[in-house]
Amino acid sequence: MNVSSLTEFVFREFSSSRTVHLFLLALVSPLYATVLVGNLLIMMTVWSDPKLFQCPMYLFLANLSLLDMALGSVAAPKLLIDLLNSGRTISYGGCMAQILSFHLSGAAEMLLLTVMAYDRYMAICHPLRYTTIMNRQRCLSLLILCWAGGLIHAVFQTVVTAQLPLCGPNVLDTFFCDITQLKKLACSDIYVSEILFIFSDNVIILPCFLTLLISYATILATLCGRFGKGGRKGLSTCGSHLTVVFLFYGPIVFVYTNPSSNSQVDKMASVFYMVVTPALNPLIYTLRNKEVKGAMGRLKSKCKHFLLLQLE
Ligand SMILES: *[C@@H]1O[C@H](CO)[C@@H](O)[C@H](O)[C@H]1NC(C)=O
């Protein structure tokens, strides 16, 4: 068999038991619904509130919600359809599309979380210069940087993946096209591809991780020296940012440092970062943030008012 003969892949079943399928269906469908509804609600709240829409932090938050919707949509819809009608194949093109969209939304989200940390760092450690530095122009360029960086990374990963010398069998032990699993189907030496993958992963992961670490360490050090209401409020905002960062990096660190590479455990980790994290982000921000909660209440009464006008 050669490369051209692999026109589709088959995902190995989670389990042959119908009960397990139903359980997964019952777990993933509400999570995916939360991803869509929760993140859409956050975006609508930010867009509908002039005060929030002025503020870089909330524009970043709305962009984060968009990325969460994209990240959540990489695997969940296909997984749900597969669970419903027991089909498990994906075409070669579909597989590459999943790799591209996963790496685009994942890398862009990683960059955005870093930008958000930098934004908090400027707001808390340099409050006087903050408004001049984080103007609309700067905000927009940082966002373009995130999206462009994600796109370059994703295209690079997809091109390297497409060059892999894949042989049969075409069975992937996962529920979405994942480079780690595809590499196992390679029939010859993939030394150069491995180096390219490691390079393009770490060009994003390492600088982002270091910047995050330094920003939050500086913020915490600054806030710890500050007492009173301002300090507490900053601490609580950073609390939700840090929770999101941990939820995002946790599974990545886990998968990369897990030497035993147990595919069952890897699968659970992927379910986590493909559906659970994107569903939790909006909850974390809305439950902890007074401004978002207030704006959501105003959006609700606006909607009620609108509906009442329609009825009259
Ligand atoms: C992302 O941020 C930009 C402002 O920098 C904003 O114009 C755009 O609407 C945001 N995207 C979303 C989905 O809210």
73 versus 297: the higher-pLDDT residue is 73
| CA 63–ligand 1 middle distance (angstroms) | 6
Could you list the residue range(s) of the whole structural domain that residue 113 is in? 8-311
Asked whether residue 264 is assigned to any structural domain, the reply reads yes
Question: What one-character-per-residue DSSP string does 8-39 give?
Answer: EEEEPPS-S-HHHHHHHHHHHHHHHHHHHHHH
Cβ-count burial 156-187 (b if 16+ within 10 Å, e if not) = bbbebbeebebeeebebebbbbbbbbbeebee
Asked whether residue 1 is assigned to any structural domain, the reply reads no
Asked whether residue 185 is assigned to any structural domain, the reply reads yes
Residue 229: per-residue pLDDT: 63
Provide the token pair at 65: 């919600």
Q: Could you give the number of structural domains in the chain?
A: 1
pTM of the model: 0.87
Read off the pLDDT of residues 58-71 as tens digits, 9 standing for 90 and up. 899 999 999 999 99
Ligand 1 pocket test: which of 59, 65, 140, 281 has the largest number of ligand atoms within 8 Å of its C-beta? 59
Q: With bands split at pLDDT 50, 70 and 90, how would you rate the model's confidence at 166?
A: confident
Q: With bands split at pLDDT 50, 70 and 90, how would you rate the model's confidence at 261?
A: low
Q: Is the pLDDT of residue 1 over 50?
A: no
How far, in Å, CA of 285 to CA of 289, rounded?
Answer: 6
Asked whether residue 2 is assigned to any structural domain, the reply reads no
CATH of the domain at 50: 1.20.1070.10
Q: Is the pLDDT of residue 15 over 60?
A: yes
302 versus 153: the higher-pLDDT residue is 153
* Binding pocket residue ranges, ligand 1, CB within 6 Å: 43, 59, 62-63, 66, 139-140, 143
Q: Are 170 and 6 in contact (CB under 8 A)?
A: yes
Residue 43: per-residue pLDDT: 92
How far, in Å, CA of 273 to CA of 176, rounded?
Answer: 12
Residue 228: per-residue pLDDT: 63
Residue closest via CA to ligand 1's atom 13 equals: 63
Q: Are 223 and 134 in contact (CB under 8 A)?
A: no
Asked whether residue 229 is assigned to any structural domain, the reply reads yes
Asked whether residue 202 is assigned to any structural domain, the reply reads yes
| CA 50–ligand 1 middle distance (angstroms) | 13
Q: Is the pLDDT of residue 2 over 60?
A: no
| CA 177–ligand 1 middle distance (angstroms) | 29
Q: What is the mean pLDDT of residues 152-167?
A: 91
**Nearest residue to 52 (alpha-carbon basis) of 287, 286, 219:** 286
Asked whether residue 3 is assigned to any structural domain, the reply reads no
Q: With bands split at pLDDT 50, 70 and 90, how would you rate the model's confidence at 312?
A: low
Asked whether residue 227 is assigned to any structural domain, the reply reads yes
Q: With bands split at pLDDT 50, 70 and 90, how would you rate the model's confidence at 205?
A: confident
